Structure 1
Amino acid sequence: MKLRELAHSRTGDKGNTLNISVICHDAQHYEHLRAVLTSQRVKAHLRDVVHGDVVRYELPGIAAFNFVLGNALGGGVTRSLALDAHGKSLSSALMNLEVAAP
């Protein structure tokens, strides 16, 4: 199943660092995602874009995770609207990750 069936996502950026939040649709899926959605798995899935470390922060109180992806925005934000320098499309790319059903 796709991650998007269990969670939704938002992104933010600061310089060349991107953060992607993954928020469970249902809190009962938090522990399952905690087991399968590791930093290594996220980095492998986004390997063509993320060239630095991926750190996962766990937020069990709101059934969410925050992934901080280093060296992920090709040097940082640009003024051109033709590029996704803010990394907003990467949340959709992450939601396309295949995960085991809970």
Structure 2
Amino acid sequence: MRLRDIAHARTGDKGDTSQICVFARHADDFPRLERELTAQRVADHLTMLKPRRIERHVLPNLGAVNFVLHGALSGGVTRSLALDAHGKTLGAQLLDMEMGDA
């Protein structure tokens, strides 16, 4: 099972910081997101980014886990030569993460 089977994501950016918010598709899946979707797993899955720091915020009222990836956008939109300088595809990349058995 991949994360996309139980969740969807939205992304945003500000300067050199990317934000990925992962929402459970169903309330019953939120405890699994909260348990399995850690900052370390995000860092391990998105190794190419090499962020300086990842903050994890659990948002139970939204059924979501939000990640703030500091230093993940190669200097930011106006300084980066990256093809996806805004980091808009990072949510889709994260949703490709393999999840353990339920």
* TM-score, normalization by structure 1: 0.92
> Are positions 1:47 and 2:76 aligned together?
no
Alpha carbon RMSD of aligned pairs, Å? 1.6
Q: Distance in 2 between matches of 1:70 and 1:25?
A: 26
**4+ residue segments displaced more than 6 Å:** none
Q: How far off its partner does 1:51 sit?
A: 2.4
- Residue identity matched to 1:55: E
- The CA deviation string for residues 30-82 of structure 1, in whole angstroms up to 9 with x for no partner, is 111111100010011111113211111010011001100011001000399x8
Q: How far off its partner does 1:101 sit?
A: 3.4
Contact 1:50 1:69 in 2 (8 A): no
Q: How far off its partner does 1:84 sit?
A: 0.6
> Are positions 1:65 and 2:65 aligned together?
yes
How many residue pairs get aligned? The number is: 101
- Residue identity matched to 1:23: F
Aligned position for 1:10: 10
The answer for unaligned runs of 5 or more in structure 1 is none
| Aligned pairs for 1:32-43 within 5 A | 32-43=32-43
The answer for unaligned runs of 5 or more in structure 2 is none
* TM-score, normalization by structure 2: 0.92
